[in-house]
Amino acid sequence: MPTLTPAQVNASNFGVVYSANHGVLSTPFVTAYQQTVGFVAGTGTAGTLTGTYTWKLTFVGTNGEESDASLPSSTIILSTQQGTLTGIPLGDGRTASRNIYRKGFATGTPLTLYYLVGSIPDNTTTVYSDNLTDIAAITAGTILAGDVPGDFPNSRLSNLQVRFPVYHYDRVFWVNQNQPNQVIWSKPLDGFAYPVVNFFNVGDSKPIVRLISIFGELIIIKTDSIWRLTGTDETSFDLTQTPSAVGTDMPFTIVALPDKILFANRWGLWVFNGYTSQPLTTKLDLWFKQDDRTNEELFGVNGFHPPEVASPTVPQNFDATGNSEKYYLSYAEAGQTANNALLVFDVKHGNITKRQTGIPLPLSLAVDPVTGFVYMGDNTGFVSLLDDWNGANSGGAATNFDFQSGYVDLQRGSNKSLWALEFLLDTDGQSLTPSVYYDSGTAGETLAPLSTVGLQRVVRPVQATNSRKMQNFSWRLNGSINPVNKSGQPQIQIVHVKALYDIRTGRARTGQT
Amino acid sequence: MAQEQTFSDYSGGMNALAAVDKLDPKECLLAENVRLDETGNIASAGAFTQQNTSAYADSLGNKNAHSLYWNPSLGGVAGVGQDVFQATQLGSFVSSLAGKNTAQQKMSFASAPNRVYFDVGSVGYWSDMTNLLLVDWVPPSAGAAGGGFNSAAGNFSAGTSSNYGFSLSTATNLGGISSTIICTNIVTAGPKFPVTVTLTVNASLIVGGVIAGTGTS
């Protein structure tokens, strides 16, 4: 038989062919064994190495990350020779180079650990000749991760179920879904290496729903509490619970702004300031408690239905994003199974407005961290820029403009006669339909549409019976607007509304005729 | 005597807590697609403008863009149906990971230098907009000492003069090969004894595509 080189053995056209002659008896059954893919160490040409060696390889990523090491090669005895590695595997797309480590066993060789002896600066070469002396390897002094006590291998994430990643102090932290109150994290600057010691459990078994890197700390939000991981590395990490009395089970409503974290839970909107949580606004308290005024006191095409909070799963898909000005919350209205409405909280001014409801459904939100622009992913396969002041319409369709004032009681306790409403507005030729509702919505009337070119005053008299004896009234303007902006200018602008009315003088009932 | 009252500051926005007739005059019951500007005026809100001209959909036709990430210095990632789409522009996403998010679970994202990490069906992935790969990084395989063996089996009669009649790995860096042949003969007819069976097996080692040696048993 010939003497085979490693390259020959590793070649694709290496194999064994059998032929058999067995007459009329049964068919021979053949089982073939083929060594798995992997690099092979062998002896090379004349060189500087003398001793008994094994090698290990690692993949190196484009950001300098390093994979876990291979199993060792077979042991090779060299005598003033080079070591030859063949069949060196190629890494996947992240691989920029491959590192080669060597360990020596023979007497006199000081490589008692796997030392870096070379690198293949590409992801194509499959052979390597190792001729670096032991002393040179030791002088360079790079030892394979995990070979030194106190250091740990660049262990794989393997099949661990993980969610909610965050980048914090050059490490990638995840929530372990196999144990949802557990956080794991990578080595610094290597998001592919997860030492087995890099984990901690946070409180009891209630799940962690989000990790946020802010204030130089890792904020860990659970369903009922908020925790903080202080420190900058493994030697200084310290986990404590904050005084926050609330958490959330709506992971995607959690938004980190530069100075605060905003989130929603089933009771309202909250702000975490780094120490504790407080309500972001009280204006939605009854709304979160399912007080639906739609079609009772509040009208409009879509109304303002409260969010779904009873379902154990639907609110977990609520989504939010934000910038230094606004917090956008995408939610499912009560009874809905997917996000179908969008709320905007103005962080600077504290006011709340709505955005388009219905189709398309605002399933996901994201913010451009540079411009602060907000994008929406919907159920029709589109990604859209929200609040596009230069955009003309709502995904090709007209925009529903709907505004309803509160019920105005011009002189509390007295009946009033409302005669007319004067609108100072500019609709740029588009039509808005005014409506007036009386006495907290018990009656109402629709007025003639408004349309102006330029800023104009338009008076609309009211005529309903209730207008002459009302306690309070609310006005509404609604229109299907297209375009909604032109040359960066909103097409609808309402400056003021003036109520023209009389007080109806009351008469005491004295019993006299 | 006729009176008038002007309401000119609507900067308060919606209030769903106060009684409907006790709202602050600046507040309102409904403000949909409305912008409340800094001067108290009411204006129409911005539009929403689609970034892609044709809808994204996974291979099953699901169009739910349930997850979205965007960083202009890197690119964007979207979970659409069961697939993961990505590109450097929001309007040019392409499916880069198909069928892995069978439950269409919302994904969460973490920006890192030249990377974005995310979960797909609770499995860790990352992307640099060129690669979209598992975070789990399989290390290099070692051949002789550390490697295992693939095996395959079959009836020799199905083979030809150049193969076994069944498949082995076709990778280019296989470490070696060996085979075991078992011939089981069950006599069901004819004289019981003596039975003489002769089995001759020839094995040829193929190196570089040519026979390097032959053995016979």
* Residue A224 reports pLDDT greater than 70: yes
* Interface residue A73 vs chain B (CB under 8 A): yes
Q: What is the pLDDT of residue B147?
A: 43
B47 CA to centre of own chain? 33
Q: Tally the residues of chain A.
A: 513
The predicted-structure confidence for B196-208, as pLDDT tens digits, reads as follows 555 556 555 555 4
The arithmetic mean of pLDDT across residues B42-63, rounded, is: 94
* Residue A512 reports pLDDT greater than 80: no
Interface A-B: count of C-beta contacts within 8 A = 625
Q: What is the pLDDT of residue B160?
A: 42
> How much of chain B exceeds pLDDT 70, in percent?
65
Q: What's the ipTM?
A: 0.90
The predicted-structure confidence for A370-397, as pLDDT tens digits, reads as follows 999 999 999 999 999 999 989 999 988 9
Of B8, B45, B149, the CB nearest to A35: B149
Beta bridge partners of residue A496, listed in sequence order:
A424
The arithmetic mean of pLDDT across residues B94-102, rounded, is: 97
The predicted-structure confidence for A7-20, as pLDDT tens digits, reads as follows 555 554 555 555 55
In this prediction the pTM is 0.86
DSSP B201: E
Q: What is the pLDDT of residue A40?
A: 87
3-state secondary structure A1-24: CCCCCHHHHHCCCCEEEEEEECCC
Q: What are all long-range contacts of A280-288, with beta carbons under 8 Å and residues at least 24 apart?
A: A280/A327, A280/A345, A281/A345, A281/A350, A281/A352, A282/B17, A283/A352, A283/B13, A283/B14, A283/B15, A283/B16, A283/B17, A283/B18, A284/A352, A284/B16, A284/B17, A285/B16, A285/B17, A286/B16, A286/B17, A287/B16, A287/B17
Contact between A21 and B195 under an 8 Å Cβ cutoff? The reply is no
Please name the residue that has the structure tokens 């450097």: B88
The residues, ordered by sequence, that sit 6+ positions from A129 with a Cβ below 8 Å of its Cβ are A44, A45, A47, A82, A83, A84, A85
Higher pLDDT, A31 or B108: B108
Topology at the third CATH level for domain A162-279: Methylamine Dehydrogenase; Chain H (2.130.10)
Write the CA distances from B23 to A122, A389, A407, integer angstroms.
Answer: 69, 29, 7
Rounded CA separation A69/A153 (Å): 8
Higher pLDDT, B215 or A480: A480
Higher pLDDT, A5 or A180: A180
- Show residues of chain A in contact with B174, CB under 8 Å: 9-10, 12, 14, 34-37, 87
Give the Cβ contact number of residue A427 at 10 Å: 26
Give the Cβ contact number of residue A337 at 10 Å: 12
CB contact under 8 A, A157 and B124: yes
Give the amino acid at A270: W
Q: Which two tokens mark B12?
A: 């308060």
* Residue A265 reports pLDDT greater than 70: yes
* Residue A359 reports pLDDT greater than 90: no
Q: What is the pLDDT of residue A504?
A: 86
The arithmetic mean of pLDDT across residues A269-280, rounded, is: 97
Q: Is the Cα dihedral B14, B19, B21, B24 positive or negative?
A: negative
Minimal C-alpha gap between A408 and chain B (Å): 6
* Residue B124 reports pLDDT greater than 50: yes
Minimal C-alpha gap between A44 and chain B (Å): 17
Rounded CA separation A410/A417 (Å): 10
Q: What are all long-range contacts of A488-492, with beta carbons under 8 Å and residues at least 24 apart?
A: A488/A389, A488/A390, A490/A389, A490/B35, A490/B43, A490/B44, A490/B45, A491/A427, A491/A428, A491/A430, A491/B44, A492/A401, A492/A425, A492/A426, A492/A427, A492/A428, A492/A430, A492/A432, A492/B42, A492/B43, A492/B44
DSSP A304: T
The arithmetic mean of pLDDT across residues B57-73, rounded, is: 97
Q: What is the pLDDT of residue A108?
A: 73
The predicted-structure confidence for A417-453, as pLDDT tens digits, reads as follows 999 999 999 999 999 999 999 999 999 999 999 999 9
Sorted by where each begins, the domain ranges of chain B are 8-48, 65-134
Q: What is the pLDDT of residue A413?
A: 83
Q: What is the pLDDT of residue B199?
A: 57
Beta bridge partners of residue A17, listed in sequence order:
B204
Over its C-alpha atoms, chain B yields an Rg (Å, rounded) of 35
CB contact under 8 A, B200 and A395: no
* Residue B175 reports pLDDT greater than 50: no
End-to-end CA distance of chain B: 124
Beta strands in A87-170 (DSSP E): 95-104, 115-120, 128-130, 162-168
Q: For testing the chain B interface, which of A8, A17, A346, A438 should be mutated: the one with the most B CBs within 10 Å?
A: A17
Topology at the third CATH level for domain A402-504: Jelly Rolls (2.60.120)
Higher pLDDT, B147 or A148: A148
Looking at A3-12, A244-253, A295-304, which range is the least confident one?
A3-12
- Show residues of chain A in contact with B73, CB under 8 Å: 370
- Show residues of chain B in contact with A165, CB under 8 Å: 108-110, 117-119, 124
* Residue A1 reports pLDDT greater than 50: no
Give the Cβ contact number of residue A188 at 10 Å: 14
The residues, ordered by sequence, that sit 6+ positions from B191 with a Cβ below 8 Å of its Cβ are none
